[in-house]
């Protein structure tokens, strides 16, 4: 189970399973009893520094410190490595919406997959840049944090504009989530 001085960096859930990702080479833990007990759930992971988790109706996805994205179709019993283009730089966020999987890397920016992680398309155009620390998806809208700016796309990442109204431009922005 989870214990000691473990740094949990991210959570996601699917059905009655909750997943917690550790950013200290401890991997992924799973609970099926609302967090009362936890089991190690990291079989086949080649990167145990987990920085991002998300899930759709069929899969749980995990992003690692060394630029790898993983997928589990059996609630974390085992994990498969996906062909994400990053070979370095942490996966800083994962998000799913409308059949699309989104991943960001501190080294190569934001990417979208419409086939559950088998192929990827770069979203680093229209002013987004490649230093993306977080991304959240909601319908056709994407929100990204990059270089202390919050960016928005209204067309699933084809183009980007900076969100400015009501935001302090001297503030540092970090992860975003939309529920």
Q: Are 80 and 44 in contact (CB under 8 A)?
A: yes
CA distance 75 to 19: 9
pLDDT, one tens digit per residue, over 82-115 is: 999 866 688 989 999 888 999 998 778 899 999 9
Q: Are 176 and 167 in contact (CB under 8 A)?
A: no
Position 173 scores a pLDDT of 42
| Mean pLDDT of all residues in 114-127 | 89
Under a CB-based contact definition with an 8 Å cutoff, are residues 11 and 35 in contact? no
- Measured between alpha carbons, how far is residue 74 from residues 110, 144, 172 in Å? 27, 30, 38
**Would you say residue 4 has pLDDT above 70?**
no
Residue of 118 and 131 predicted with greater confidence = 118
| Over residues 38-56, mean pLDDT | 94
Question: Could you say which DSSP state residue 107 is in?
Answer: T
pLDDT value at 172 more than 90: no
Q: Quickly state the pLDDT bin for 179 (edges 50, 70, 90).
A: very low
pLDDT for the residue numbered 50: 95
* pTM of the predicted model as reported, rounded to 2 decimal places: 0.88
Mean of pLDDT values over 9-13: 92
* Arithmetic mean of pLDDT, 58-63: 96
What is the arithmetic mean of pLDDT over 16-41? Answer: 93
**Residues 3-23, mean pLDDT to the nearest whole number:** 88
């Amino acid at each position: 189970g989870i214990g000691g001085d473990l740094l949990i960096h991210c959570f996601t859930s699917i059905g009655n399973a909750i997943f917690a990702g550790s950013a200290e080479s401890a991997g992924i833990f799973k609970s099926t009893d609302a967090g009362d007990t936890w089991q190690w759930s990291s079989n086949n992971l080649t990167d145990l520094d987990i920085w991002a988790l998300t899930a759709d109706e069929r899969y749980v996805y995990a992003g690692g410190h060394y630029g790898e994205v993983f997928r589990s179709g059996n609630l974390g019993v085992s994990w498969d490595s996906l062909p994400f283009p990053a070979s370095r730089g942490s996966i800083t966020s994962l998000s799913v919406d409308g059949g699309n999987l989104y991943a960001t890397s501190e080294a190569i920016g934001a990417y979208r997959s419409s086939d559950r992680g088998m192929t990827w398309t770069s979203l680093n155009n229209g002013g987004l840049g490649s230093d993306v620390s977080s991304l959240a998806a909601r319908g056709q809208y994407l929100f990204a944090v990059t270089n202390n700016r919050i960016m928005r796309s209204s067309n699933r990442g084809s183009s980007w504009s900076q969100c400015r109204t009501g935001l302090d431009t001297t503030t540092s922005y970090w992860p975003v989530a939309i529920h």
